[in-house]
């Protein structure tokens, strides 16, 4: 239970005619999740209409950061960096990106699954929501990893399905395949998850690198015409503001009026997450997402050499410093300011 600072009354009440429990001992541990963290305030999230809603049925917007691939940058996810994300950045959500290929999950499923378990527990202790990101990218057909995804998400959902601070992102960026193919994958995997966890929202990747099909000359209408046959789901959209301009912004705006959309990855740079930052265009996206309560996660919480990584090179190897703006690149300073603005989490 969450206790407030100062005096608290803990009451055991009988629920049967046999009387109450025989309580010999009550212990109180410090350092757990505070009652005013994003996950504590909002509780179990659910999709209501086109919005992500909290335990009170009110639309909310989560804002936070995505890790880089944990096979390369797990050293950027430490107690100190997660403390900074939760308490200095005031983030709501951490996306844990488990690449399947490129030296990731398929090379050592036990190691990478255990790493996800650990990061979920660490983020939970800090009151953050966690997006469990199945980061398939190459090959772009999610069916290539369906068997692995079944194994991975079954274990994650078995162990953490009782938590109220998770979201499952089941296919990062499908590419080179049709929407029908992606839909088929989702409709096979979601029931596997639901057998273990009926509550947690599932985030479904969209065609053409999660662009809602725009990067392949399509748009959101292919999804509205043939939505995934499942409940409590959202569709993902990714953008990189220096490359993805008016057409992408307009698609996101239209789609959010028809579909539940979650922006699980974006940057202020070009589509490779590098080059000059276009903060003007990014702010247009930020303002749109705020107005329409579209939750978002920025790429990425690492010290990769690219301009889209928030920390200066060497920060993670040196184990910080993590707080303030000194260890941050230009993009890090800017996105930290966007995340630190006050949340609007209605509770009544």
Token pair for 61: 């917007």
Parallel, antiparallel or unpaired: strands 166-169 and 261-267: unpaired
Token pair for 216: 């392949």
**C-beta separation of 65 from 95 below 8 A:** yes
Strands (E), the chain: 46-48, 51-53, 63-66, 93-99, 129-135, 166-169, 202-204, 233-240, 261-267, 296-299
Instruction: Select which of 173, 187, 222, 274 is catalytic.
Output: 173
Using DSSP, state whether 178 is helix, strand or coil: coil
* Gap between the Cα atoms of 291 and 246, Å rounded: 17
Name residue, tokens 């100190």.
Answer: 80
Token pair for 266: 């974006």
Name residue, tokens 């005619």.
Answer: 17
Instruction: Select which of 169, 220, 222, 265 is catalytic.
Output: 265
Using DSSP, state whether 302 is helix, strand or coil: coil
How far from chain centre, in Å, is Cα 243?
A: 23
In the residue annotation, 155 being an active-site residue is answered as no
Strands (E), 241-301: 261-267, 296-299
* Gap between the Cα atoms of 289 and 273, Å rounded: 20
* Gap between the Cα atoms of 285 and 194, Å rounded: 33
Using DSSP, state whether 168 is helix, strand or coil: strand
336's enclosing H/E stretch is: helix 330-340
* Gap between the Cα atoms of 119 and 132, Å rounded: 10
**C-beta separation of 257 from 50 below 8 A:** yes
In the residue annotation, 246 being an active-site residue is answered as no
* Gap between the Cα atoms of 182 and 57, Å rounded: 29
79's enclosing H/E stretch is: helix 79-83
Point out the residues that are catalytic: 173, 265
């Amino acid at each position: 239970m969450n206790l407030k600072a100062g005096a608290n009354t803990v009451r055991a009440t009988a629920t049967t005619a046999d009387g109450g429990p025989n309580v010999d001992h009550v212990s109180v541990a410090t350092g757990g999740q505070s009652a005013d963290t994003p996950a504590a305030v909002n509780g179990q999230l659910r999709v209501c209409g086109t919005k992500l809603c909290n335990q009170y049925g009110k639309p909310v917007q989560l804002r936070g950061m995505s890790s880089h691939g944990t096979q390369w940058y797990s050293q950027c996810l430490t107690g100190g960096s997660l403390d900074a994300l939760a308490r200095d950045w005031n983030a709501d959500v951490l996306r844990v990106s488990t690449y399947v290929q490129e030296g990731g999950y398929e090379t050592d499923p036990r190691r990478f699954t255990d790493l996800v378990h650990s990061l979920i527990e660490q983020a939970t202790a800090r009151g953050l929501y966690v997006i469990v990101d199945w980061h398939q990218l190459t090959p772009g057909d999610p069916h290539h990893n369906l068997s692995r995804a079944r194994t991975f998400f079954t274990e994650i959902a078995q162990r953490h399905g009782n938590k109220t601070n998770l979201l499952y992102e089941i296919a990062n960026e499908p590419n080179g395949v049709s929407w029908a193919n992606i839909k088929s994958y989702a409709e096979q995997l979601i029931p596997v998850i639901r057998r273990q966890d009926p509550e947690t929202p599932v985030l479904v990747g969209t065609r053409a690198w999660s662009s809602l099909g725009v990067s392949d000359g399509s748009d959101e209408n292919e999804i509205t015409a043939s939505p995934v046959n499942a409940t409590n789901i959202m569709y993902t959209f990714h953008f990189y503001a220096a490359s993805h301009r008016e057409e992408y912004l307009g698609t996101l705006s239209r789609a959010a009026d028809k579909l539940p959309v979650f922006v699980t990855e974006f940057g202020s740079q070009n589509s490779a997450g590098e080059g000059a930052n276009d903060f003007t265009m990014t702010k247009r996206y930020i303002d749109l997402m705020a107005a329409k309560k579209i939750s978002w996660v920025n790429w990425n919480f690492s010290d990769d050499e690219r301009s889209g990584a928030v920390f200066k090179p060497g920060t993670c190897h040196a184990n910080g410093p993590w707080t303030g703006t000194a260890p941050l690149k230009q993009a890090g300073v800017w996105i930290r300011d966007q995340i630190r603005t006050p949340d609007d989490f209605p509770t009544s």
